[in-house]
Amino acid sequence: MLRFLVKKVLLALTTLIAVSVVTFGLFFAVPNNPAELMCGDSKNVCSPERIETIERRMGLDRPIVVQYGDFMRGIFVGRTIGSGETARDCPAPCLGFSFRNDEPVSDIVGRTLPVTLSIVFGAAVVWLVLGISIGMLSALRRGSLFDKLAVGTSLVGASMPILLFGPLLLIGLVYETGLLSYPRYTPLTENPVAWASAMLLPWFALGFLNSATYARLSRAQMLETMSEDFVRTARAKGLPKTTVYGRHALRAAITPIITIAGLDLGAYLGGTVITETVFGFTGLGRTALNAALNLDMPIVMATVLLAAVFVVAANVLVDMLYAVVDPRIRLG
């Protein structure tokens, strides 16, 4: 088990290093000089002397390899950006400064990441609980009215984009009936009740649409598992249905669901652009999109690297859960 985990962690670290190299390369892939982007559009202001000063202030006058080393070291221990009178301290985790407003990128990420985390984790609870429950009950009642309704609803949910479903929820529950107020993000630490009430719509929108996929997958897996010999043996022994289906069948059927859940969770943590835009939240995804449109490369680099960390960490967690759920993987 320890060897299995060490191998996965080393592979994850190698992947992150490769992603960091590619991400850092994006900084120099833009057609414009980063110093010119910081300077502005006015040719009168952006004189060669001004651009040279900005390059020294941002440390862009140093070799690329040295800049990459400083960038990676700054994430863990901080760094000093620039030299001489223009030098600035950037505490860890140092992700640079925005081209547009010269604000530390770590502050921007610290302000927007909680919004994305709030949306994703709440929606994940909805789609996992709702999807697996409906899929399991549908498999146990195959051919019944409940099964047909569940399959039909899941097909509708899987085919409906959140770009349509989100506005429909706003129109029906906010603008027309007034049952809910327009969602405005409030930090959890300030007011938990206001935080939860603001998250209800995005939780339901993202959770319901994703639960359709999980319902179909869990139903198919349960139907396949229920025909296995060990399930028939457990039923022949007279074990209670809750033990047969809840402990034995579901545990065997849940492995593919863990895989999809890990990938979805990692991807959504990297940014839920459409969900944030539809409900007016400024999270990590919307911030990354605006930064890309404005060529604010330090923010783009930080969000891409952070998204990679989430995806890799989710995959490592999935592998660990495999070993817990399926003893064959652990023993192998």
Of 128-132, 170-174, 314-318, which gets the smallest average pLDDT?
314-318
pLDDT band at 41 (very low <50, low <70, confident <90, very high): low
- What span, in angstroms and rounded, lies between the C-alpha atoms of 55 and 156? 54
Pick from 39-48, 80-89, 256-265: least confident? 39-48
Q: Which residue has the higher pLDDT, 322 or 89?
A: 89
Band of the pLDDT at 204, cuts 50, 70, 90?
very high
| Side-chain-facing half-sphere of 32: CA atoms under 13 Å | 14
- DSSP assignment string, 181-248: PPP----TTT-HHHHHHHHHHHHHHHHHHHHHHHHHHHHHHHHHHHTSHHHHHHHHTT--HIIIIIII
Highest mean pLDDT of the ranges 78-87, 103-112, 224-233? 103-112
pLDDT digits (tens, 9 = 90+) for 177-187: 888 888 889 99
Q: Please check the confidence at residue 224 and state whether its pLDDT lies above 90.
A: no
d(CA 78, CA 75): 6
| Whole-number pLDDT of residue 45 | 62
pLDDT greater at residue 123 or residue 23: 123
pLDDT score for 124: 93
Provide mean pLDDT across the span 273-295: 89
Residue 59 or residue 304, greater confidence: 304
As a whole number, mean pLDDT of residues 206-221 equals: 90
